Amino acid sequence: MGNAAFLLVAIALSIVGSALLWLRYRRPKTFMTSIDDFQREMKALGHEPDEPDEPAESRNIVTRPSRVDDEDGQ
């Protein structure tokens, strides 16, 4: 009986743990959730038209000079 009781306790703990994980990480199913997800994705794709563009330095874009003079100045 001892082995069967240990097996039942292990199965019960597995079921309870799985249910807790499922409840914690499940996606909400409300109407507003889908609208919020859509707005979040649209914001990630672009910026608002009235916001100024960020300079290249803040976007970590490396720019190079248009012309490099050699030491003689030619």
The Cα–Cα gap between 46 and 32 comes to 21
Residue range 10-64, pLDDT digits in tens: 999 999 999 999 998 887 778 888 888 888 888 888 766 666 666 655 666 666 6
At residue 12, the pLDDT reads 97
Identify which of 59, 35, 57 has the alpha carbon closest to the alpha carbon of residue 47.
59
pLDDT above 80 (res 74)? no
